[in-house]
Amino acid sequence: MSIAHGIKRLGVLGAGQMGTGIAFVSALHAKVPVLLHDKSAHQISKGLSLIDKLLAKDVSKGRLQPSDAEEARARIQTVDTLEAMRDVDMVVEAVAENLDLKRAIFRDFAAKIRPDAILATNTSSISITKIARAVIPEGASATGEEGKAASGRVVGLHFFNPVPVMKLVELISAVQTSQDTLDRSRAFAEACGKEVATSQDVPGFVSNALLMPFINEAIMCLEKGVATRDDIDKTFRLGMAHPMGPLQLADFIGLDTCLSIQQTLYKGTSDSKYRPSVLLERMVDAQYLGKKSGRGFYEYNN
């Protein structure tokens, strides 16, 4: 049977919360073999442990048969090198929100992964067009056939956190992205059980161009003493039926991630409304990063 997305094997670079989640839904719902790579053996171990817990939870709640859980887990393998992903049909990068880091990774993708594979980034704010430039071979013209073929396979595939729970994927086309890459990426996201929304390649796309200023304003309210942490979050939980308040949400996203996205918005637009809160910067300086570090605006027992 022909598969619309044509992805018979997936690579995922980054075994953090996002990469692990992407590997999980790809193996469980799309039923695609996954090669997971991270330079940190500790992170790989932590990621696999999370996958095991998620599958066990689904089985215990009757959402999944034990045999289906075993099959999904067997589809996920770890690899020690990027070269081991050479023959994947798509690779998804899920690392920190840093343009230079992502460019370096995509240059490696271009050199080490088959030339017809889709190269996807899970970035939540950084320009896909800037990332796509990194895969054009040295000496090749961006407008020549070789340059267009290389950059045309780069796409933004923004999964939301936590990936196993959140139903949305944001699909972002670089200026260079081919229609075939977009169509296959959409089909793959849908095979993972997701709904797809599209956005132009602007700072923050749709999601974070709206969400991050909201979170940043909430932090500024706390910084200025307009209201307490609890009252800010209570206002949005009880007054606007949000499942959690903006300060708790920031903790769950990660304050370092919030700051990186806010800086991308500010730098990309030069609009003062995107200037990061001083308190947010200081929290990150102190390594109070939210739930993942045990302390942010709230304290967590990790």
Catalytic pick among 124, 151, 173, 277: 124
Active site residue 170: yes
In degrees and rounded to multiples of 5, residue 29 shows phi and psi of -95, -45
Rounded Cα–Cα distance for residues 163 and 101 (Å): 22
Residue with tokens 């887990």: 73
Active site residue 301: no
294: which DSSP letter?
A: T
Catalytic pick among 158, 185, 199, 260: 158
* Among 33, 4, 14, CA closest to 180: 4
Computed from CA positions of residues 241, 246, 248, 252, in that sequence, does the dihedral angle turn out positive or negative? positive
Catalytic pick among 178, 199, 208, 277: 208
Catalytic pick among 5, 97, 170, 277: 170
H-helix segments, the chain: 17-28, 41-60, 66-74, 99-112, 128-133, 145-151, 179-191, 207-224, 229-239, 246-253, 255-269, 278-285
Active site residue 223: no
SS (H, E, C) 183-226: HHHHHHHHHCCCEEEEECCCCCCCHHHHHHHHHHHHHHHHHHCC
Which amino acids are annotated catalytic? 124, 158, 170, 208
